[in-house]
């Protein structure tokens, strides 16, 4: 984004290694930085945001989608608009569809053409990702989406949502091929809508979000179009690129939102937390078949109409410069998994080292270039871009007694972080010739015939509609809509034990009267 700015390096004088600037000295510097600056020593850990925890893992799902795109769905779908390098970042659900049913038939259900394969948890009513026979390997478009139990169930929700849309298209008389294409188009567009109108609106400064991508209408002919507001920050003409300031720093804000553990469902128990990452313990790590204890009850992770307890949905940690203990005790070091003195196990230190090795510019220099006020923090905290963005998100002008308006008060990104993130997403959505922002800029979910058909079927069956959560969630056509489309459990009902019928007592008939 800012190629004219030099990369920043810390002064590692006094740290072990083969001299200043060595790899060992750099790692020692940031291990010390994390140990002294980024550890929450309060018990219980301090600070919550207002963001439901489901959005933390939706952010991870989006990240995987951005870094996959490999090839078109099939040779039959090649068109001039796609004749370029396919390893490019696009928000097109390539992590779900892979290379399509022709190139990757094992992802799809032979008994229901156009639909994805779906797995089951034996002996339960719950679904799982499809897995290889006798193995834990998930058969999905992007294996990374099985790395933890929450993001794997988001992936599952998109598979099931697609299948629901295929069935609606077939009901309208479409062939299986056309039904697949129609369902894919609708789901991609709904996904792009949710990213911009729900997810981005929650994590970014409202004024930045409003400016980054604006819907307008030509008064002369009534044509709708979208305009970028930060083309000076991120823009691409030929092929989209992933800015390092985004991928190595700003979009890693989600690491600060992860909790040490989560309550998963009613059957597992209210107040019973499963660790997110815990070496040698039953935790939420993935790459294995889903267990009923880890099945997500979605009104505990997203604000839905069935969220009746005041403690639900569980919310993310606040946006700040501290990470949960679980992320500094990861089982990544092959020799000493879970040891927080080894850098491979300490996510924050790895992030900071990566930023220097990728030659990210100083946060202060970027803020000056964009003419953004600089928050008042210690000198040794002002340069590393990722850390500065976390502290800016934490900064609360009212608490600090400051006239600055750049902070996120722990509930969202501050101005600098918001500009980098919003500019990147807006640029990818507007720059992609196949996004609905370009193909059909006036499209809204309310106008989509497949979504309308599914909604009508749900209402006719007496079930909650796709926007049953609008009043409590605050947004129509948000992430809860995907859960509703999927049919995954949204309340405690599926987790309650099925009552065993008690047989009626057998009453012998009265003896006939004697003469």
Return the pLDDT at 158. 98
Q: Report percent pLDDT > 70 for the chain.
A: 90
Domain range for 254: 23-494
Q: Is the predicted pLDDT of residue 100 greater than 80, yes or no?
A: yes
pLDDT at 416 over 90: yes
Residue 504 within a domain: no
pLDDT in tens, 455-510: 999 999 999 999 999 999 989 999 999 999 999 999 999 999 765 555 666 555 55
Q: Which residues contact 335 (CB under 8 A, 6 or more apart)?
A: 342
The predicted structure's pLDDT at residue 404: 83
Tally of structural domains, the chain = 1
Q: Is the pLDDT of residue 82 over 50?
A: no
Count of other CB atoms within 10 angstroms of residue 346: 27
310 belongs to a structural domain: yes
In the three-class reduction of DSSP (H, G, I as helix; E, B as strand; rest coil), residue 13 is classed as: coil
> SS3 of 380, please?
helix
> Over the stretch 346-357, which tens digit does the pLDDT of each residue have?
999 999 999 999
Grade residue 80 by pLDDT with cuts at 50, 70 and 90: very low
Nearest to 141 by CA among 150, 149, 129: 129
153 occurs within a structural domain: yes
**For range 248-262, the mean pLDDT:** 96
Residues forming beta bridges with residue 120, ordered by sequence position: 127
pLDDT at 512 over 80: no
CA 424, CA 419: separation in Å to the nearest integer?
8
Give 283's pLDDT tier (boundaries 50, 70, 90): very high
Closest CA to 320 of 408, 202, 205, 199: 408
Q: Looking at residue 493, what is its pLDDT?
A: 95
In a domain, 503, yes or no: no
Query: Are 310 and 475 contacting, i.e. CB atoms less than 8 angstroms apart?
Result: no
Query: Does residue 341 fall inside a structural domain?
Result: yes
Phi-psi region of 223 (alpha: psi -120 to 50; beta: other; left: phi over 0): beta
| 507 inside domain | no
Are 37 and 28 spatial neighbours (Cβ–Cβ below 8 Å)? no
Q: Any long-range contacts for 453-458 (C-beta under 8 Å, 24+ apart)?
A: 453/168, 453/171, 453/172, 454/164, 454/165, 454/168, 454/485, 457/168, 458/484
Residue 394 placed within a domain: yes
The alpha helices in 94-242, defined as continuous H runs, are: 94-97, 100-103, 149-171, 176-194, 200-203, 206-212
Outline where 234-291 has alpha helix (H).
244
Find out whether 304 and 44 touch, Cβ atoms under 8 Å: no
So what's the pLDDT on residue 19?
55
Domain CATH for 229: 1.10.640
pLDDT of 71: 37
The token pair that represents 328 in the structure block = 């500094």
pLDDT tens readout for residues 327-370:
999 999 999 999 999 999 999 999 999 999 999 999 999 999 99
Which pLDDT score, from 0 to 100, does residue 397 have?
Answer: 87
Does the pLDDT of residue 76 top 70, yes or no?
Answer: no
Residue 186 inside a domain? The answer is yes
Residue 116 forms beta bridges with which residues?
108
- CA pair distance 480, 194, nearest whole angstrom: 10
């Amino acid at each position: 984004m800012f190629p004219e700015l030099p990369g920043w390096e810390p002064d590692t004088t006094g740290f072990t290694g083969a001299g200043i600037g060595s790899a060992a000295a750099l790692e020692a510097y940031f291990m010390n930085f994390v140990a002294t600056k980024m550890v929450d020593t309060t018990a219980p850990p301090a600070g919550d945001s207002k963001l439901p925890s489901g959005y933390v893992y939706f952010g991870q799902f989006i990240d995987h989608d951005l870094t996959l795109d490999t090839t078109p769905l099939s040779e039959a779908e090649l068109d001039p608009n796609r004749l370029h390098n396919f390893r490019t970042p696009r928000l097109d659900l390539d992590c779900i569809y892979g290379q399509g049913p022709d190139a990757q038939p094992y992802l799809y259900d032979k008994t229901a053409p156009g639909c994805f394969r779906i797995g089951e948890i034996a002996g339960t009513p719950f679904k799982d990702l499809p897995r290889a026979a006798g193995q834990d390997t998930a058969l999905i478009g992007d294996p990374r989406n099985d790395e933890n139990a929450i993001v794997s169930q988001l992936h599952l929700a998109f598979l099931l949502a697609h299948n629901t849309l295929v069935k609606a298209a077939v009901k309208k008389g479409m062939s299986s091929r056309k039904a697949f294409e129609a369902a894919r188009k609708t789901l991609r567009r709904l996904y792009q809508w949710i990213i911009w109108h729900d997810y981005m609106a929650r994590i970014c400064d409202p004024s930045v979000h409003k400016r980054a991508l604006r819907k307008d209408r030509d008064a002369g002919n009534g044509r709708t179009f979208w305009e970028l507001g930060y083309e000076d920050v991120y823009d691409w003409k030929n092929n989209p690129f992933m800015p390092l300031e985004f991928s190595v720093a700003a979009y890693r804000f989600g690491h600060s939102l992860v909790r040490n553990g989560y309550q998963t469902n009613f059957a597992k128990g209210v107040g019973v937390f499963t660790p997110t990452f815990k070496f040698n313990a039953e935790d939420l790590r993935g790459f294995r078949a889903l267990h009923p204890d880890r099945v997500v009850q979605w009104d505990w992770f997203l604000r839905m109409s069935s969220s009746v307890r005041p403690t639900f949905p569980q919310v993310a940690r606040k946006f700040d410069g501290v990470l949960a203990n679980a992320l500094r005790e990861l089982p990544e070091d092959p020799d000493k998994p879970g040891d927080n003195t080894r850098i491979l196990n300490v996510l924050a230190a790895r992030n900071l080292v990566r930023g220097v090795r990728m030659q990210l510019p100083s946060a202060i220099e970027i803020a000056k270039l964009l003419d953004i006020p600089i928050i008042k923090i210690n000198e040794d905290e002002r340069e590393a871009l990722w850390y500065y963005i976390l502290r800016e998100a934490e900064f609360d002008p009212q608490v600090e007694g400051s006239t600055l308006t750049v902070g996120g008060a722990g509930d969202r990104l501050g101005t600098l972080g918001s500009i980098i993130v919003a500019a990147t997403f807006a640029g990818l959505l507007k720059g992609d010739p196949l996004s609905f922002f370009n193909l059909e800029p006036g499209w809204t979910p309310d106008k989509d015939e497949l979504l309308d058909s599914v909604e009508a079927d749900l209402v006719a069956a007496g079930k909650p509609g796709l926007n049953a959560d609008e009043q409590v969630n605050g947004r129509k056509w948000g992430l809860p809509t995907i859960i509703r489309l999927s049919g995954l459990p949204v309340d405690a009902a599926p987790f309650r034990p099925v009552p065993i019928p008690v047989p009626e007592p057998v009453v012998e008939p009265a003896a006939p009267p004697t003469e």
